[in-house]
Amino acid sequence: MNLDALLLLAILSSSLIPGLVIFGLPEERHRLRTLLNLAGAFVKLSLVGVLFLGVYSGHEYAFRLPLLPGLDLVLHADALSLLFIVLSAFLWFVTTVYAVGYLEGAPNRSRFFGFFSLCVSATTGIALAGDLVTFVIFYEMLTISTFPLVVHRGTPEALRAGRIYLAYTLSGGVVLLVATAWLRVLAGPLDFVPGGFLAGLDAALYPTLQFLFGLLMVALGVKSALVPLHSWLPTAMVAPAPVSALLHAVAVVKAGAFGIARVVYDVYGIGFALQLGVLLPLAALAAVTIVYGSVRALFQDDLKRRLAFSTVSQVAYIVLGVAIAGPLATIGGLVHLVHQGMMKITLFFCAGNLAETLGIHKISEMAGVGRRMPWTMAAFTLGALGMIGVPPMVGFISKWYLALGGLEAGQSWVVVLLVVSTLLNAAYFLPILYTAWFGHQHQSWPHEHLGDEHRETTWALLLPPLITAALVVLLGVFASAPLSPLQWVQLIAAREYGP
């Protein structure tokens, strides 16, 4: 066991161990629990920082544990892992602060934070997985650890959402397992290799490989909520706001999108996937999802549901970028993994603030809320404008590179798609902003929790969205600064497409 392997294991356990300890804590040990949570998140962030610098200077991190003869648990850190792990470590920290504020006084907090930490550990494992089997292991762990969070409220509605969630994700998991086992039999060890490793197989196997690609996309498409496998996501909205934030920005949908990127880039390889002709159907599916999600979002009055359909649409951008073969599209898709996370978590934090402080759940109840909660709505506005793609916000950068990528690959329909999608985004976000800032409050707020009229809401609830909203702007303005997500993704693209 060398130091590199230890670093990877330490990053995994920095959220796993606090989670396990928290399960054993009595309900009333609030301070210790909060301390453990924050300490874990802080340690993880620092360790990820060390890993980041190491990978940046070209160091290889790997860990291997033989599970069966010919089957290893492989952890490794490459540029793509780092993209995901930095995002998750950072947003975990922010979300933990938010969740502590959000759940103040709520029951079953030990259970909640325990599973919350497990969920983050699983996400970390997904990011660090060095082969497809290890990826599957953590992917399933994510499914299980998220379920208690979705049903946390314990209402019949929450339980129904949980059942739907598990029905979708477990079925997806089984399909993923079968496809992985099949690939394993065909191709031997499934270690991720930049540029893929299937191209050398016998041409007689190509139809099987196409079929397996389809199975993999179905399996991963469930979590990344590709139409028509998306319906669990809007239902899962009954979960508490920090969970929705985590689900939509980092954990579940991103795990699916990240998996699709891994399969296309590091299993099949972009060139080989193009040769098999499997990328165009995937791009078409992503395009349908983008339009469908936006159209459905238009008709939701429930704020969180509208945001959920928006997620369906926005995550498909990542898939679209991956499916269009070309360095610029790759940059646009992968950078959106980070950008969408920042924007969506801001929006969900704000929605949670509205619900928690004033009891607002519907857009029709939001008239004039901009005057009551100016900071929250300012953050919301930045996130929403980013989603629409207004420069200089991060959403613009993603869309710009996606459009360029489409043109570069000779697929000009992508530009049309992006224009349509942007119009739709504007159509479902601008009315919210208009109501909130310029609408007149007709009746009192549905359920005001905070007795104090002069305070907007508690600090723990206000700071996280302000931080992420600031990043939505800063990452956009300083997109070409060194070590920005955009720069990092350009590094990945350069490695994938090679000289």
Partner 1 sequence: MSWLLDQPWSLWAIILPLAAALGAFLAPRQAPRIGMAAALAIFATVLGAILQVHGRGPQFHALGGWEAPLGIALRTDGLSLMLLAATALVGLVVSWYALGYFSGTVHGAEKREYFWPLWLFLWGACNALAVSGDLFNLYVTLELVTLASVALTALGGGAAALSAAMRYLLSGLVGSLCYLLGVALIYGAHGTVDLALLAQLVSDDGLSRAALALMVTGLLLKTALFPLHFWLPPAHSMAPAPVSALLSALVVKTSYLILLRLWFEVFPTVVTPGMGQLLGILGAGAILWGSFMALRQERLKLLVAYSTVAQLGYLFLVFPLAQGEALTGAWTGVVFFVLAHACGKAAMFLVAGTIYHTAGHDRIAYLAGAGGPLGVQVVVFALAAVTIIGLPPSGGFMAKWLLLNAAIAGGQWWYLVVMALGSLLAGAYVLRVLSWAFLDVRRTFYPTLPWTLRWPPLALSLVALLLGLLAFVPVHLVLTDAPVSAAVRLEVRP
> Rule CB under 8 A: is residue 29 a binding residue for partner 1?
no
Q: 412 φ, ψ to 5°? A: -70, -15
- Do you find a cis peptide bond into 392, omega within 30 degrees of 0? yes
- C-beta separation of 310 from 428 below 8 A: yes
> Rule CB under 8 A: is residue 42 a binding residue for partner 1?
no
Residue type for position 415? V
To partner 1, the closest distance from the beta carbon of 173 in angstroms equals 8
> Rule CB under 8 A: is residue 164 a binding residue for partner 1?
no
DSSP 135-155: HHHHHHHHHHHHHHHHTTT--
CA 347 from chain center: how many Å?
Answer: 14
Helix (H, G, I), strand (E, B) or coil at 107: coil
> Rule CB under 8 A: is residue 206 a binding residue for partner 1?
no
To partner 1, the closest distance from the beta carbon of 175 in angstroms equals 8
Q: Which member of 9, 186, 276, 390 binds partner 1 (CB under 8 A)? A: 186
Mark residues 59-88: x for contact with partner 1 by CB under 8 A, - for none. Answer: ------xxxxxxx-x---------------
To partner 1, the closest distance from the beta carbon of 37 in angstroms equals 19
Is 182 or 400 the residue whose CB approaches partner 1 more closely? 182
- Distance, CA of 409 to CA of 411 (rounded, Å): 6
| Residues 127-161 as b or e (16 or more Cβ within 10 Å = b) | bbbbbbbbbbbbbbbbbbbbbbbbbbbeeeebeeb
Please name which of 185, 47, 213, 39 lies closest in space to residue 127, comparing C-alpha atoms: 47
To partner 1, the closest distance from the beta carbon of 39 in angstroms equals 24
To partner 1, the closest distance from the beta carbon of 256 in angstroms equals 17
Q: How many binding residues for partner 1 (CB under 8 A)? A: 44
End-to-end CA distance of the chain: 35
Q: Which member of 9, 64, 164, 182 binds partner 1 (CB under 8 A)? A: 182
> Rule CB under 8 A: is residue 108 a binding residue for partner 1?
yes
To partner 1, the closest distance from the beta carbon of 21 in angstroms equals 15
Q: Which member of 39, 178, 193, 419 binds partner 1 (CB under 8 A)? A: 178
> Rule CB under 8 A: is residue 236 a binding residue for partner 1?
no
Beta bridge partners of 73: 65
- C-beta separation of 128 from 88 below 8 A: no
Is 111 or 495 the residue whose CB approaches partner 1 more closely? 111
Is 3 or 204 the residue whose CB approaches partner 1 more closely? 204
Is 221 or 293 the residue whose CB approaches partner 1 more closely? 221
Is 34 or 171 the residue whose CB approaches partner 1 more closely? 171
- C-beta separation of 140 from 245 below 8 A: no
CA 292 from chain center: how many Å?
Answer: 19
Is 10 or 378 the residue whose CB approaches partner 1 more closely? 10
> Rule CB under 8 A: is residue 481 a binding residue for partner 1?
no
Is 73 or 291 the residue whose CB approaches partner 1 more closely? 73
To partner 1, the closest distance from the beta carbon of 255 in angstroms equals 15
The stretch among 78-86, 185-193, 306-314, 417-425 that binds partner 1 (CB under 8 A) is 185-193
Is 76 or 399 the residue whose CB approaches partner 1 more closely? 76
Is 221 or 405 the residue whose CB approaches partner 1 more closely? 221
- Distance, CA of 128 to CA of 39 (rounded, Å): 21
Q: Both tokens of residue 176?
A: 């993923």
Beta bridge partners of 71: 68
Beta bridge partners of 63: 75
To partner 1, the closest distance from the beta carbon of 143 in angstroms equals 8
- Do you find a cis peptide bond into 431, omega within 30 degrees of 0? no
To partner 1, the closest distance from the beta carbon of 356 in angstroms equals 18
Please name which of 153, 267, 163, 251 lies closest in space to residue 215, comparing C-alpha atoms: 267
Residue type for position 219? A
Please name which of 356, 316, 362, 352 lies closest in space to residue 336, comparing C-alpha atoms: 316
Residue type for position 367? A
Is 176 or 394 the residue whose CB approaches partner 1 more closely? 176
Q: Which member of 49, 188, 228, 446 binds partner 1 (CB under 8 A)? A: 188
To partner 1, the closest distance from the beta carbon of 92 in angstroms equals 22
Q: Which member of 5, 177, 218, 494 binds partner 1 (CB under 8 A)? A: 177
Please name which of 422, 427, 434, 164 lies closest in space to residue 299, comparing C-alpha atoms: 427
Give the list of residues 6+ apart from residue 136 with CB closer than 8 angstroms, or none: 173, 176, 177, 180
To partner 1, the closest distance from the beta carbon of 349 in angstroms equals 25
> Rule CB under 8 A: is residue 240 a binding residue for partner 1?
no
To partner 1, the closest distance from the beta carbon of 69 in angstroms equals 4
Mark residues 123-162: x for contact with partner 1 by CB under 8 A, - for none. Answer: -------------xx--xx-xx--xx--xxxxxx-xx--x
Q: Up-side HSE of residue 276: CA atoms within 13 Å toward CB?
A: 29
Q: Both tokens of residue 339?
A: 């950008």
Q: Residues in the chain, how many? A: 499
Point out which residues bind partner 1 (CB under 8 A): 23, 65-71, 73, 108, 111, 136-137, 140-141, 143-144, 147-148, 151-156, 158-159, 162-163, 166-167, 170-171, 173-175, 177-178, 181-182, 184-186, 188
